[in-house]
Structure 1
Amino acid sequence: MHQTRTVSGYLTLLQVWVYEHFPTLCANCCRLSQVYDEDYPRALRWKPKRDKGLVIPFRKALDEIDVDGICWTPYREHRPKRPFEVVSLFRGWIRWGPKMYAHLPDRVLRQYGHVQTIPGSPLEIVGQTTTPEEMDIMFTQYAVHVVDAGAVVHKPADCAIEYMDCLQ
């Protein structure tokens, strides 16, 4: 939003997520590292440019992007080094120290290589746990809370018909 002046959180991860999923946007804001190896953490793949004048063209490019300009499975070549773990499909609260976050993988199934279906409401997990101890127990029993990923995609933009209907 244009009136926003600050953003909190670990922005490097957000930045890298944008680079991986919207490669057409990267042409003006970053470049691939020449020394990157798939053994390295994925964020080291990118070398951002330090130019503050990119906001307006970046917004314009983002507004004009279509489904073909999105990389739905950006980590495919990285999977042999960092295999997919079923725990990634855990749906519920996760925490880092005193901070707790809702983890909702059913909202981004395409990124996991599955057909996108209608995700559950984020409100379904609110109130499921109230203490850090309850969150820890829920996570240690993550297999009970794993999202049914469903069908594997054949084309990156595959989604269930009812998913597109729910967006309208």
Structure 2
Amino acid sequence: MRGTARSTVPALTAPSSISRPARYKMDLAGLQAVCEANYRQLFKVAQDALCAQKGSVKLLSSEWMNHSSKAHLEVLEQTRYTSLVALSLTSRLHDWLTLPQMQIRLYHDVQMAEVVSADHYRNLSAVYEYPNPAMHLPDEKHQLNLLLAEWLAHFLETGLSTEPLSKKLPT
């Protein structure tokens, strides 16, 4: 006899289709870069409103290919190191193109602007397990900050201020 026989049966392993997907890892440096750019862009768009008192409103207008859009930026809270502003569209560019009503926290000491709520979702988490009951993307907060960045870039290309700084919204 020549030694022991080797088994030709392969070892049992779980099929790749059953394995769990890799857990999402937050891109903190990418999120911070977007928030820093958003801070600079917001000050280009509405420096007078952002430096004013609580309750100040800046009315904005954008026009692109014969379509116009209007928005307002309101200072909700002003402290020594932070501000909270609300950004919302009052008229949309297209019916299919909407911008959620956002609340943006500006951190003046580190010069960052972060979306802290959108529409009725407050206190957004940095990372969500997926799937989840609200069907948030794993990187929902990052995506909302990117949306703000794209809107601000679009506004800087096509927008103009329609009205001077006012203390209260027109009714």
- TM-score, with structure 1 as normaliser: 0.22
Q: Which has the larger radius of gyration?
A: 2
**Relative to total residues, which structure has the larger strand share, 1 or 2?**
2
Higher relative helix content: 1
| TM-score (structure 2 length as normaliser) | 0.22
